[in-house]
Structure 1
Amino acid sequence: MTSGAARVLRRLQERGETLAVAESLTGGLVAAELTDVPGASQSFRGSVTAYATSLKRDVLGVDGALLDERGAVDPAVAEAMASGVRRVLDADWGVSTTGVAGPEPQDGKAVGTVFIAVSGPHEVRKCVELRLNGGRADIRKESVRSLLALLSGELGENARAQDTEQNGGN
């Protein structure tokens, strides 16, 4: 999985931008993948492992009413976590994971239901729902891989958009 992390960090370093991570079901695995890459400190600011719902609210600034109404496994919660960690850790980009790794359903959501989100400069916001199979370790591992792929894609798309703007169109 490190190749996805290395690709993300390389793109961030090329752009002179930083990243912060908010994790729930992945419990620090995204941060571990990123920090396995030599030189990660040039772009990786840090992470918040907000496993408890109260930390999502109190540390990351996720709206308490949203959490009460929808639970922690929700696309709006994932987006708020990504935006919140970006703000709290003063980073250009924030990403998040929230979901159900199992073995039991949570908040009415089936095992394997995961939301990953990206928040970035220029109003970039994206959230993807994953429906993953396998055991707890498989779900967590695939969540990390999917999040890094999503961010890599956003960094690539965002870079192309900036190039187009700077070069006056096509």
Structure 2
Amino acid sequence: MHSELDDTETICIGETLEAQAAAVLDRCREQGLQLALAESCTGGLLAGTLTAIPGSSEVVDRCYVTYSNVAKIQMLGVSGELINAEGAVSKAVSFAMLEGVLERSRADIGLSITGIAGPGGQESEKPVGLVYLAAAKRGEEPVSERMLFGDAGRTEVRSLSVDRALKLLASIL
């Protein structure tokens, strides 16, 4: 049975992101790995992309949407002092979010995303479209990416962030 909801999910996520998500899930499943996420600027879009794939519950342990600074502090243990010193959109905070998601889950792999999707929120040194991602297998050195997508529009920045996150996950698998 095919429902309208299934069509909407494919249209919202897009076939390319869906294929990337399925490949990441397959590789995790093959290696017996669990995945946990901490998202800010994407607002759960990465989690939604992964969990739109049937069987994702075998791989996805949990996903935190820590959109506010308070949520980053309360849910992930990110230091308020770090956020004040570096800003929520920073490499340091992306690493702290990653550390928090791995400490608070049973996952083997963690990933974090923080950025400015726009249209507002930019600062002089942090423009709309600036995104930091961090990922690691438990016990291994984290890897990070700094992306500058430009003021491509909120939806596009979020979608491009999910694309980069899936590619980053694939690279550490």
Pairwise TM-score range, normalised by the shorter structure: 0.7 to 0.9
Q: Return the match for 2:102 from 62, 67, 86.
A: 86
In the TM superposition, what is the alpha-carbon distance from 1:91 to its structure 2 partner?
0.8
How far off its partner does 1:111 sit?
A: 0.2
CA RMSD of aligned residues (A): 1.1
Is 1:101 aligned with 2:127?
no
Mapped to 1, the partners of 2:38 and 2:170 lie a distance apart of: 17
Normalising by structure 1, report the TM-score.
Answer: 0.87
**In structure 2, C-alpha distance between the alignment counterparts of 1:69 and 1:148, rounded to whole Å:** 29
Q: Residue 102 of structure 2 contacts residue 138 of structure 2 at CA under 8 Å; is this kept in 1?
A: no
Question: Counterpart of 1:146 in structure 2: which amino acid?
Answer: R
| Structure 1 unmatched runs, 5+ | 156-170
Tell me, yes or no, if structure 1 residue 22 matches structure 2 residue 38: yes
- The one of 41, 52, 55 equivalent to 2:68 is 52
Q: Does 1:125 align with 2:137?
A: no
Match of 1:135 in 2: 153
Decide which of 77, 82, 91 is 1:66's aligned counterpart: 82
Q: Distance in 1 between matches of 2:167 and 2:61?
A: 19
Deviation at 1:46, TM superposition (A): 1.5
Q: Percent identity?
A: 41
Q: Pick from 58, 73, 93 the counterpart of residue 77 of structure 1.
A: 93
Aligned to 2:23: 7
The 4+ residue runs of structure 1 with deviation greater than 3 A are 105-108
- Superimposed CA distance per residue, residues 102-122 of structure 1 (whole angstroms, 9 cap, x where no aligned partner): 112345410010001102123
Structure 1 CA distance, aligned partners of 2:49 and 2:78?
25
Separation of aligned partners in 1, 2:54 and 2:149: 30
TM-score scaled by length of structure 2? 0.86
| Structure 2 unmatched runs, 5+ | 1-16
Distance 2:141 2:22 in 1: 22
